[in-house]
């Protein structure tokens, strides 16, 4: 509900004070100044009272709906600081809070020689965002420094001062605005979810239209070839010449329309192996210009990657073989258009710059004596990354990590660099599922994976989830990094990953780490096995430590048993 001159907000105030007369005075004050309150702040106040701190806390928990707490400093069971600490929460890492207290000497109040302090244990707040105002008869400045550490919003003196109503209504109005902001945030989040769903649906529609266009292109090529075969005449009549003219014109129009409107990248290759044309979508995907690619010999100079010439020649050979068969046997069975398609994937770059492209090469008839071939290019980077990312940890999934790790490791060595494999296992992970259920276990895995991704270089390194509670990092090392430095890096990662996770603040999550560095003559699988053996040694040697692989370390029997079972299953007829 918005705050304006026509609306009245009903607020509930909790007064904690052992003075029996104070609630009556405050209710009269609210009643006598009701018109001023509504005109200025649009608020109606319902006063709830408690005579002790513990009674007030019980009301706060059981009744709910409290918008403001006004508490006296001196009360029989606990003082105002203790009440505020239990409402707002107190973390001793912010420093010890000194609480002013007072004693009677010669009928005068003065502070004692030794200040009191708030307890050393962390206090979890009942309602950390609730505004709290402190009532005191000693003057608010004695409490200001300590109260600010607890989050007390303001102070009011005794007896009631003229600023009582302005201070109270100001705090309540801020509470109303905070609630309105919360409603607005909720609405914005709902709208963001809706927009995300609409965007996903749009992507699905575009993908579906792309598939339809590809199918229509193949059908068009098939029909055109059938018309050609039926109307090839040694002596052409006027009707045959007219048909050829109409067929060529129709094929050219279909080709031009497809090149202009297809939502995929297209390269048109003529019968001389030359790039005759490319569409605008191809230029957007590859970042190239028309002058860079048009007219290139597809065999001598590949425009995108080294696989395209071979794929083109493969498709051309299949198509010409069929044409030759058709020439010698006009009654030959019409082939399936899919028989001519050559498909492959191409991965370019790494990290955030990685691009994954899907190619399809097909033959088409565009009214030219020589056959044309279309290389259709689709950017599938985002789909591939979604398929290989573990939704819980954000790391590469257990089903994809070996393929991606082997590719990156081979490319790293080819580029003249080296790398290290760091195997990580969360210590005693099964206890978290036992104590807090799978929700607590998943929360630890999610936090663990997020921390690991924050510790590695997203441009070059890999974060992997290799099993249930097992993770790994593949670090690409510059040639200037000396032998053994990967162990220091692994220790820093192990220390950063260890800490408090989940709901049990007294429990410290640790991990056992093994590290191995690539050496000339080894392959990616051997580097992984070495790191895994080193990690197994850390687990068996007391956990919560880092072990560097070296000759003589025992092998991990758990991994060997898994590999043995897998091999037996593969060999079973």
Instruction: Tell me the HSE value of 482 on the side-chain side, using a 13 A CA sphere.
Output: 2
pLDDT tens digit sequence for 108-142: 334 444 444 454 444 556 777 888 988 877 655 55
pLDDT tens digit sequence for 306-335: 777 888 888 888 888 887 787 778 777 776
Q: Reply yes or no on whether the pLDDT at 270 is more than 50.
A: yes
Tokens matching residue 369: 């004596």
Distance, in Å, from the CA atom of 79 to the CA atom of 229, rounded to the nearest integer, reads 100
279, burial (CB in 10 Å: exposed 0-12, middle 13-18, buried 19+): buried
Interstrand relation of 154-157 and 132-136 (parallel, antiparallel or unpaired): parallel
pLDDT at 525: 93
Phi, psi of 454 (to 5 degrees): -75, -15
- What is the DSSP code string of 65-85? ---EEEEES--SSS-HHHHHH
Q: Is 49 helix (H, G, I), strand (E, B) or coil?
A: strand
Q: Is the peptide bond before 487 cis (omega within 30 degrees of 0)?
A: no
Of 32-41, 73-82, 407-416, highest mean pLDDT: 407-416
Residues 149/94, Cβ–Cβ less than 8 Å = yes
pLDDT at 134: 84
Q: What is the mean pLDDT of the chain?
A: 76
pLDDT tens digit sequence for 11-54: 889 999 888 888 888 888 777 765 444 444 467 788 899 988 88
Identify each DSSP E strand in 279-404 by its residue range: 342-348, 355-364, 372-379
The answer to which of 75-79, 403-407, 529-533 has the lowest mean pLDDT is: 75-79
- Residue 4 DSSP label: S
The answer to which of 2-6, 40-44, 558-562 has the lowest mean pLDDT is: 2-6
Q: Give the mean model confidence (pLDDT) for residues 61-80.
A: 84
Residue scoring higher pLDDT (465 or 435): 465
pLDDT at 473: 94
pLDDT at 570: 43
Q: Give the mean model confidence (pLDDT) for residues 444-463.
A: 88
Residues 134/143, Cβ–Cβ less than 8 Å = yes
Identify each DSSP E strand in 77-228 by its residue range: 98-99, 103-105, 108-110, 116-117, 132-136, 154-157
Q: Is 252 helix (H, G, I), strand (E, B) or coil?
A: helix
Tokens matching residue 239: 């009707």
Phi, psi of 43 (to 5 degrees): -130, 140
Q: Reply yes or no on whether the pLDDT at 5 is more than 90.
A: no
* Residues near 464 by beta carbon (within 8 Å), at least 6 away in sequence: 395, 396, 401, 405, 471, 472, 473, 474
- Residue 515 DSSP label: E
Phi, psi of 423 (to 5 degrees): -95, 135
Which residue do the tokens 């590695």 mark?
A: 456
Q: Of 360, 326, 354, which Cα lies nearest the Cα of 342?
A: 360
Residue 7 banded pLDDT, cuts 50, 70, 90: low
Identify each DSSP E strand in 153-310 by its residue range: 154-157, 265-269, 275-278
Q: Is 142 helix (H, G, I), strand (E, B) or coil?
A: helix
Domains located in the chain, CATH noted: 9-181 (3.40.50.2300), 231-383 (3.30.450.20), 389-571 (3.30.70.270)
The answer to which of 35-39, 190-194, 338-342, 358-362 has the lowest mean pLDDT is: 35-39
The answer to which of 39-43, 311-315, 391-395, 444-448 has the lowest mean pLDDT is: 39-43
């Amino acid at each position: 509900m918005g705050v304006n001159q026509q609306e009245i907000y009903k607020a509930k105030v909790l007064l904690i004070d052992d003075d029996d007369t104070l609630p009556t005075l405050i209710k009269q004050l609210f009643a006598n100044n009701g018109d001023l309150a509504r005109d200025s702040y649009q608020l109606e106040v319902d006063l709830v009272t408690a005579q002790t701190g513990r009674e007030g806390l019980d009301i706060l928990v059981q009744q709910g709906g409290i918008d403001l707490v006004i508490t006296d400093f001196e009360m029989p069971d606990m003082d105002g600081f203790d009440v505020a600490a239990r409402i707002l929460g107190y973390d001793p890492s912010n420093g010890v809070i000194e609480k002013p207290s007072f004693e009677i000497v010669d009928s005068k109040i003065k502070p004692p020689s030794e200040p009191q302090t708030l307890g050393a244990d962390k206090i979890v707040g009942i309602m950390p965002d609730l505004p709290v105002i402190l009532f005191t008869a000693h003057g608010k400045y004695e409490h200001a420094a300590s109260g600010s550490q607890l989050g007390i919003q303001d102070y009011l003196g005794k007896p009631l001062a003229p600023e009582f109503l302005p201070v109270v209504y100001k705090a309540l109005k801020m509470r109303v605005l905070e609630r309105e902001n919360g409603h607005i945030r909720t609405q914005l989040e709902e709208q963001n979810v809706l927009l995300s769903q609409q965007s996903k649906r749009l992507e699905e529609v575009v993908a579906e239209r792309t598939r339809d266009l590809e199918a229509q292109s193949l059908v068009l090529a098939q029909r055109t070839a059938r018309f050609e075969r039926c109307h090839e005449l040694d002596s052409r009549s006027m009707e045959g010449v007219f048909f050829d003219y109409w067929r060529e014109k129709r094929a050219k129009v279909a080709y031009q329309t497809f090149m202009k409107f297809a939502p995929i990248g297209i390269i048109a290759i003529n019968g001389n192996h030359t790039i005759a044309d490319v569409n605008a979508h191809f230029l957007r995907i590859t970042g190239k210009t028309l002058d860079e690619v048009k007219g290139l010999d597809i065999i001598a100079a590949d425009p995108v990657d080294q696989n395209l010439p071979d794929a083109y020649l493969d498709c051309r050979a299949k198509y010409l073989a069929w044409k030759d068969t058709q020439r010698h046997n006009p009654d030959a069975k019409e082939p399936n258009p899919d028989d001519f398609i050559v498909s492959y994937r191409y991965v370019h770059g790494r990290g955030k710059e990685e691009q994954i492209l899907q190619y399809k090469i097909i033959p088409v008839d565009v009214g030219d004596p020589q056959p044309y071939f279309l290389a259709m290019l689709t950017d599938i980077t985002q789909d591939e990354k979604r398929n290989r990312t573990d939704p819980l940890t954000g790391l590469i999934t257990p089903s994809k990590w070996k393929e991606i790790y082997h590719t990156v490791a081979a490319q790293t060595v080819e580029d003249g660099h080296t790398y290290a494999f760091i195997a990580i296992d969360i210590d005693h992970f099964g206890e978290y599922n036992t104590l807090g259920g799978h929700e607590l276990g998943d929360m630890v895995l999610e936090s663990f994976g997020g921390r690991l991704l924050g510790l590695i270089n997203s441009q070059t390194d890999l974060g992997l989830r290799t099993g249930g509670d097992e993770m790994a990092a593949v670090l690409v090392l510059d040639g200037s990094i000396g032998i053994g430095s990967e162990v220091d890096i692994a220790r820093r990662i192990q220390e950063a990953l260890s800490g408090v996770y989940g709901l049990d603040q007294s429990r410290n999550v640790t991990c056992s780490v093994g590290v191995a560095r690539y050496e000339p003559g080894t392959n990616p699988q051997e580097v992984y096995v070495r790191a895994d053996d080193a990690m197994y040694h850390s687990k068996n040697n007391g956990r919560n430590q880092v072990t560097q692989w070296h000759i003589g370390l025992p092998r991990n029997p758990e991994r060997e048993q898994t590999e043995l079972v897998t091999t037996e299953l593969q060999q079973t007829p």
